[in-house]
Chain A
Amino acid sequence: MTAAKKQKTGGTDHPLLRGCGHIESGNTPDWVAALRETATESFAVTGLPTPAWEDWKYTALRALDNMDFARDTGLSAVPYYHAPFALPEMISLRILGGRLVKNATELPRGLEIHTLKDVWHEDWVAHYLAVPGNFADTPLEALNAACLCDGIVIRVAAGTRIEAPVLLSFLHENTDAEETQLSMPRILIAVEEGAALTVIEHHTGRGKYFTNQAATITVHKGAKLGHYRWQDEDKQSGFHITTTRLSCFDGAEYDGFTLTTGAKLSRHEIFADLLGEEIRCILNGAYRLGERQHTDTTLKTGHFEPRSTSKQIYKGVLNDQARAVFQGKIHVHRHAQGTDGHQLNHALLLSGEAEIDAKPELEIYADDVKCAHGATSGKLDDQALFYLKSRGIPENTAKDMLIEAFLGEAIEAIGHTAVRDAFLHLQNTAEQEAAA
């Protein structure tokens, strides 16, 4: 056993780095090479985080320690996939193995969508991505950067309001192989001054795989981004981690929502920097998990300038031995007078073995602010359940109605009407599947 034991911490031959396989170095811009090197060195030192790390206290990545990895080449066919919904004018794109599958869709004027490799020599791309980051606290982000070889780049030109929503479908198929497939999507979304865009992500697949995504999102002055994600990865053997760095400037609006129903283990870590005044930043979500699924939402919102609003409202339902972690921190810096910050996590525990760990935090250095945070957990309301049953509604249907109503309240807050309706419907579908 000892001999077979795999290396757990650090080293440049960490199984996850090895799993990334050969990364071509020809014709890559200098910033990419430099970033990979910094990130590799950082990951070699830290390795994967352990529960001894404060931010990882409730989420253990032990399951990844004893796996063999192989890079997802994106070549496996995914024939079964249908977009979960169709919205008017929706631009539907597939991402296989972290690479954008090119198609002939004609894009509206002012909207650019590229595979990273095609544009990484351009200055503006480097401007967003060539940040000499400090990866010490974000090893998963380091891992993504260490393996950087492609990605998805979306930009909307200043003043352009794109009505057509963009759907990005991240697909995985790895039901036969011994190794866990590694996929490292790198995303850049830039909404320039006064522009508007809606992006939907659907992460799904079958089999053994690990998606480790990193996203850089910038919403410029007066711009709007609606960003809605459905994490629907394989419930038995899919792993999903996303690290998002969001920057908003004066008057920007970011409306974010994550629906989590999938993955054996998932974590979404968002660093939201509100760098201007009068920004409205919504980071909401809902989760519904069963069996031994685990999800972790870690939000770090920084208010740097006056009069911005941030909201983080999550609602979740946990059954069986499922577990959810909610860590939220609102940091109000000295200049950020008039900040309005709101953070809540409501969880319903359907079984005695389900668990929620919620840690809302406020750190306030300005004196004129309005901030509230809280966390609740409870059970399904017995009275409500009896009322429904007394009208002839079978217990399971009655429970589903109450759960749907509970999560529906979170989903209702989605700012984009068509997406909101689609997500409400998704939630229902996901429940029916879970019940079947």
Chain B
Amino acid sequence: MLKIENLHATVGGKEVLKGLDLEVPAGEVHAMMGPNGSGKSTLSYVIAGRDGYEITKGRILFDGKDTAEMEPEERAAAGLFLAFQYPVEIPGVTTTNFLKTALNAVRKARGEKELDAVAFLKLQKEKTAALGIDTLMLKRGLNVGFSGGEKKRNEVLQLTMLSPKFAVLDETDSGLDIDALKIVAEGVNSLRGADRGFLVITHYQRLLDYIKPDRVHVLAGGKIVKSGGPELALELEKDGYGVFAEQNGKAA
């Protein structure tokens, strides 16, 4: 579903990804772990198509299609989703207005009928309740005055509302207490299925107790240095990233 081949990418002229290969087939959840500065967030932004994150070599294929020329909104319409590590605050745009505009834009791009206000509110109510989100939050400016945990829940709300084919979760666990972590994981797990894939980026193993990955990769120095089954995450938890620090250091 998502296939990354020999990806080299620069940020502000500095090469951060240096030949990364990854394939996540439909129906699987892969975890991407690694020390700080290894390029995890860069990878997520490159997949989403953020300006300033430039691919210098290699390519990212989504459903067999090269994403290089696709705008972020085209990627979203095609079914890619990024849950941000640092969700952006937008005063004056309410969460409801934002969700409705996004959902209908995506539906329209997919040739589906746009939802009217009634159908939209019904869906929103259902998804909001499942994540334990206070509906008052939906009337406020997007992420404005939200706590770290509320922001992350809001990301997962967007995920469940838009139900993309493939989601990248960038450190969605950071800033969450254990109860919030469980709720967020349930939200993600509810979407798992044979035709959907996930890339879960995390620094800690904790989230993977709740979202069980099929594969775990270690990113260091801009490339994948080790891959394995779920047990790899447990090893990392025990031994730390020390063994990869050298590779990471060399890269930086």
- Chain A residues within 8 Å of B, Cβ to Cβ: 381-384, 386-395, 397-398, 401-402, 404-406, 408-409
B60-68, B87-95, B130-138, B241-249 - interface stretch: B87-95
**Interface 0/1 of B92-103, CB less than 8 Å to A:** 110001100110
A-B contact pairs, 17 of them (CB 8 A): A383-B88, A386-B48, A386-B50, A390-B48, A390-B82, A391-B81, A391-B102, A391-B106, A392-B105, A392-B106, A393-B73, A393-B105, A401-B93, A405-B90, A405-B92, A406-B92, A408-B92
How many chain B residues touch A (CB < 8 A): the figure is: 29
Take A392-B105, A392-B162, A393-B101 as given contacts and tell me if A387 and B87 are in contact as well, using a CB distance cutoff of 8 Å: yes
B71 beta carbon closer than 8 Å to chain A: yes
Candidates A383, A392, A402, A406; contact of B102 at CB < 8 Å: A392
Cα A387 to Cα B91 with chains together (Å): 13
The 3 A-B pairs of least Cβ separation, nearest first, read A405-B92, A392-B76, A392-B106
- Chain B residues near A389: list those with CB within 8 A: 71-73, 76
- Chain A residues near B92: list those with CB within 8 A: 404-406, 408-409
- Chain B residues near A383: list those with CB within 8 A: 88
Take A392-B109, A404-B92 as given contacts and tell me if A386 and B51 are in contact as well, using a CB distance cutoff of 8 Å: yes
- Chain A residues near B73: list those with CB within 8 A: 389-395, 398
- Chain A residues near B97: list those with CB within 8 A: 401
Give B65 Cβ to nearest chain A Cβ, in Å. Answer: 16
Q: Which of A392, A393, A405, A408 has the most CB atoms of chain B within a 10 A radius of its CB? A: A392
- Chain B residues within 8 Å of A, Cβ to Cβ: 48-51, 71-73, 75-77, 81-82, 84, 87-88, 90-93, 97-98, 101-102, 105-106, 109, 141, 158, 162
- Chain B residues near A409: list those with CB within 8 A: 91-92
Q: Which residue of A lies closest to B92 (CB)?
A: A405
Give A412 Cβ to nearest chain B Cβ, in Å. Answer: 8
Q: Which residue of B lies closest to A407 (CB)?
A: B92
Known: A386-B51, A405-B90; 15 extra A-B contacts, CB below 8 A, are A381-B88, A386-B88, A387-B84, A388-B90, A388-B98, A389-B71, A390-B49, A391-B76, A392-B73, A392-B76, A393-B102, A395-B71, A397-B101, A404-B92, A404-B93
Q: Which residue of B lies closest to A408 (CB)?
A: B92
Cα A406 to Cα B102 with chains together (Å): 19
A-B Cβ contacts below 8 A, count? 78
Cα A381 to Cα B88 with chains together (Å): 10
Report whether over half of chain A's contact residues are helix, strand or loop; otherwise say mixed.
helix
- Chain A residues near B162: list those with CB within 8 A: 391-392
- Chain A residues near B90: list those with CB within 8 A: 381, 384, 387-388, 402, 405
Take A384-B90, A405-B90 as given contacts and tell me if A390 and B101 are in contact as well, using a CB distance cutoff of 8 Å: no
Cα A282 to Cα B231 with chains together (Å): 65
Q: Is the CB of B91 within 8 A of A394?
A: no
Cα A386 to Cα B48 with chains together (Å): 9
Candidates A381, A390, A405; contact of B72 at CB < 8 Å: A390
- Chain B residues near A401: list those with CB within 8 A: 93, 97-98, 101
Give A378 Cβ to nearest chain B Cβ, in Å. Answer: 14
Q: Is the CB of A392 within 8 A of B48?
A: no
Q: Is the CB of A390 within 8 A of B76?
A: yes
- Chain B residues near A386: list those with CB within 8 A: 48, 50-51, 72, 88
- Chain A residues near B48: list those with CB within 8 A: 386, 390
- Chain B residues near A395: list those with CB within 8 A: 71, 73
- Chain A residues near B50: list those with CB within 8 A: 386, 390
Cα A384 to Cα B73 with chains together (Å): 13
Cα A381 to Cα B143 with chains together (Å): 15
Q: Which residue of A lies closest to B50 (CB)?
A: A386
- Chain A residues near B158: list those with CB within 8 A: 391
- Chain B residues near A402: list those with CB within 8 A: 90, 93
- Chain A residues near B76: list those with CB within 8 A: 389-392
Q: Which residue of B lies closest to A403 (CB)?
A: B92
Candidates A381, A391, A394, A406; contact of B98 at CB < 8 Å: A391
Cα A387 to Cα B87 with chains together (Å): 8
Q: Which residue of A lies closest to B103 (CB)?
A: A392
Cα A394 to Cα B106 with chains together (Å): 9
Cα A11 to Cα B87 with chains together (Å): 64
Q: Which residue of B lies closest to A383 (CB)?
A: B88
